[in-house]
Amino acid sequence: MSSILTNNGAMVALQTLKQINGDLSRTQSQISTGKSVASAKDNAAVWAISKVMDSDVRGFRAISDSLGLGQSTVAVARQAAETVSDLLLQMKEKIVAAQEENVDRGKIQTDIAALRDQIGSVVGAAQFNGLNLLSNRSMTAGSGSVNVLSSLDRSSTGVTASEIGVRKQDLGTQATVVTGGTYAAGTGANTFTLNATRTGTITIAPPTGAGQVFSIGLTGTDADSSTFVAGDYTTAGSTAGAQLMMYVSRDGDTAADVARGLAEAFSIFAAQNNLDPNILSIAANGANLTATSNVTDATDTIAVRLDRINAPTSVTIGGGLERMASFNVTTDAGASSALAAVEFMIQRAVDSAASFGSVQGRIETQANFVSKLTDSLRSGIGTLVDANMEEASARLQALQVQQQLGIQALSIANQAPQSILSLFR
């Protein structure tokens, strides 16, 4: 049936043309934007996933910047620590030469002072963007370490940040200053007597913060006056005595750090006072201080204590190489104590450089991983939302042909009512 009021053919052709035009518009949008999912209306689920992944990519870009900054900071500290190590080796050569009496110790002392000043200059300049990892003298909690943002970890509960901790070292030459306070003798497990036992161990509890003053206290007794001079092995009883072999804790110190510091203090004190290691030697073993005597007996005893200075009026934490300032190789005792001290300083500088080197390697590895992870995320986002340009190009040409045919079909359908006029001629 033909009708001049209802043209079914034209309606079908018009709907087909609308569909073709809609497909053509979407294809042109894909070609112009390069995305198959450009907005939430295109595919809400895929668009939401892509936006979350895009936020992660932006976060990892910031992490890459953080890792780059951290890597540069640690690299400066490592290079400075290695330089200090080399300078200390040169200083050791001078100190070893000063062990001989027929050398010009005055000139050697001048060389040592020059090397000391150079070390101070290197440590002072070892900063990047205002941060110096070779200085750890602040008493502020948390100041002994620096955290480098390394990752964002997404889970079902949200996003958490991961960090790489960098512990500060200290290779400064500033002196420790402790004023006032109350002398507190060790008690209980912190005291033992070297007599027939000949060996004793003190287990040190971890410090609770920076600025705590630990000390080795000695009390010598030689009942028959045959083995040693008791006064040489007696330091306990006063705050002044406690400072002869002391260690002031730094932020982040462990019990092992305190034990090592006290063992070094004793070794240097022993060298300065020409103490016989057979009569008393003290070494650090983890968090323990182990003292040994090979000559004491029931009448020849030495009491060893872990002492403290409580509530000092003020505490200035010294640098890790502070004893360098007191080097004086112009005397036999000074040359001996300098040799004992420089060995510990070399080891401290080597340990510092090794620590920074390890952290720098970890940061570099993380930076490479973050870079690859960012590329993978970008690739994943592209897989989700990017348009297939080859397919879009072929589809565009097909749709253009369909559009032309649709227009012609609509034109033919619109001409159908004209044929009804012939019936009225």
- 345-388 pLDDT, tens per residue? 999 999 999 999 999 999 999 999 999 999 898 888 888 887 77
Rounded distance between C-alpha atoms, residue 262 and residue 344, angstroms? 12
Count CA atoms closer than 13 A to 264's CA, side-chain side: 22
Please give the torsion angle defined by the CA atoms of residues 356, 62, 379 and 158, in that order, rounded to the nearest 10 degrees: 100
Torsion-angle region of residue 142: left (phi > 0), alpha (psi -120 to 50) or beta?
left
Mean confidence (pLDDT) of the chain = 88
Between CA 140 and CA 134 the distance in angstroms is 16
Q: Per-residue b/e over 34-53, b at no fewer than 16 CB within 10 Å?
A: ebbbbeeebbeeebebbeeb
Q: Are 258 and 273 in contact (CB under 8 A)?
A: no
Distance CA 135, CA 382 (A): 47
**Position 422: which residue type?**
S
CATH code 1.20.1330.10 region(s) in the chain? 47-170+356-378
pTM of the model: 0.81
- The whole-number average pLDDT for the span 258-264 is 93
Instruction: Give domain 47-170+356-378's CATH superfamily.
Output: f41 fragment of flagellin, N-terminal domain (1.20.1330.10)
Integer Cα distance of 343 and 333 in angstroms: 16
The pLDDT value recorded for residue 425 is 67
Mean pLDDT of 327-344: 90
Axis-axis angle for helices 44-97, 105-125 (nearest 10): 170
CB 316 within 8 A of CB 172: no
Residue 196 CA to residue 199 CA, distance in Å, equals 9
User: Is residue 1's pLDDT more than 70?
Assistant: no
Q: How confident is the model at residue 297 (pLDDT cuts 50, 70, 90)?
A: confident
pLDDT band at 11 (very low <50, low <70, confident <90, very high): confident
Q: Which of 344, 356, 335, 323 is nearest to 83 (CA)?
A: 356
One-letter identity of residue 57:
V
How far apart CA 393 and CA 15 sit, in angstroms, is: 24
For residues 127 and 75, what is the distance between their CA atoms, to the nearest angstrom?
10
